[in-house]
Structure 1
């Protein structure tokens, strides 16, 4: 069973705490925005994206729960790949929701639907609902900015793509809030199209993040070479490991694959050497990340 090394357990515990904080803040944001949705397409899109912001945090916590379970008769290799499955789930939700929001916002823009943002009676006063929407959007910006910045270094330390995707989602959340404010102000100044245009811009950003993450997740699940955090390019750690093994075992075919945060190496074409050293000694990248090499096997 592969477990996070002792020195990284504080980082993993910190990541778990951040995700629980994320769930708490996101639920409060979703509840507040639901009270002031009105007929604004940008507000509706921002609300849906904030609702989606719950998905990466939930699947990360589920993955961590299952990842460290001991192998069983039915799952003899353990549950390390559950992290990859969680990553695919989060990425797929982002992608499909981006497509839906593009359709929804684009159709309303083409149909020239004019959103109605009238006054509401509050504390004995008539207040333009747009101000309430803007206040809710401002509230929705602050937690994602803080949480997203805190998650990025932890995701790099743990080589965790789910956590990294969640950090990107936090960035998309505050950008969505900012775009929503611009759209609502545009409607207030008489530019009816600003609302749907802002929603459409948000939707394309969601689709882009979902498409990029889905590519990496699918490559991981079909035993593709390890990818970088946040992109489809092969990771630097994988390149260094592959080159080192190819140099150490000339003529061999070196193959690398990734399961969650771990890398597995296979050396084909030569038998296992009699003086095989501990697998960590074959790691050629950052020594602090040698724990990522979960296994090394040889096939004559």
Structure 2
């Protein structure tokens, strides 16, 4: 059964879904433009792959939301809230793997001292340096991710959504990639053969960092670790407050918290339940965030394990 969320959070979720469709549309246009202008530039190739990779977070987010909204079934009696955690893991693995591949490619190019060149193309009967086309494509690739990423970030925080938060960071990385790509193309124009590969390596290192961090968070969540702060490895502040409140209310019990997607599940071990619990009343943080506590269960002393 899907945990209930307040109408305003449901509206935020609808806004996030709409934003991700726009994100996919703009990203596809950027991939097409960058692909047409790529030439044999290592920087452009790396930026193009990262832009293509940028399609993964919005796609897995939309897939996760689709399943999250489904009712529980006989084969999935606990519902599909955890599909969100699985989607986060998929995005993290893709991010880290592609980053490693791009870094290897850039490092090999530097080691082999391959000198990339930027040729000229003929447009309307006039020869134009392809670098100008590359620079225009890079500038275009900066604008949509900058706007969409800034809109995603506050939604991700309100929804406590790791996939959406990762996508916001990915969009930030994409427009920073565009800025680094400008350096690489200009460097080639100035005859700095190494500038192209150095810019590509710089981009790939950022991808690996984000992917590795996301992979650790996603793995901890699927392994029933304590709820993590959004985009971080430390324990979530709201989860810490909840643990303290439950410890005070049930001093003889062992408090266990885990995260399922955007929700927190609490278990008190070694305690007999004394009465029906109001989850909203137990929530220690802001009342509008009480929807995060989806379940509280008790495990009596003779059932501890």
Do Structure 1 and Structure 2 share a fold, with TM-score over 0.5?
A: yes
* Post-superposition CA distance 1:178-207 (Å, at most 9, x none): 101101101111110000000000000000
- Structure 2's unaligned 5+ residue stretches are 301-305
Q: CA deviation at 1:4?
A: 3.0
* Deviant stretches of 4+, over 6 Å: none
Q: CA deviation at 1:7?
A: 2.0
Structure 2 residue 279 is the aligned partner of structure 1 residue 279: yes
- Measure the CA separation in 1 of the matches of 2:5 and 2:109: 49
TM-score, normalization by structure 2? 0.97
Structure 2 residue 89 is the aligned partner of structure 1 residue 57: no
Q: CA deviation at 1:5?
A: 2.1
Matching of residues 99-248 of structure 1 within 5 Å = 99-248=100-249
- Measure the CA separation in 2 of the matches of 1:34 and 1:3: 44
Matching of residues 249-288 of structure 1 within 5 Å = 249-273=250-274, 275-288=275-288
- Measure the CA separation in 1 of the matches of 2:94 and 2:286: 33
State the match for 1:289 in structure 2: 289
Q: Count how many residue pairs are aligned between Structure 1 and Structure 2.
A: 299
* 2:81 alignment partner, SS class: coil
Q: CA deviation at 1:155?
A: 0.4
- Measure the CA separation in 1 of the matches of 2:224 and 2:129: 54
Is the CA contact 1:137–1:178 (under 8 Å) kept in the aligned structure 2? yes
State the match for 1:85 in structure 2: 86
RMSD: 0.7
* Post-superposition CA distance 1:56-86 (Å, at most 9, x none): 0000000010001111111000000000000
* 1:218 alignment partner, SS class: helix
Q: CA deviation at 1:212?
A: 0.6
* Post-superposition CA distance 1:253-278 (Å, at most 9, x none): 000000000000000111111x2331
* Post-superposition CA distance 1:122-176 (Å, at most 9, x none): 1211111011001001000000000000000000110000000000000000010
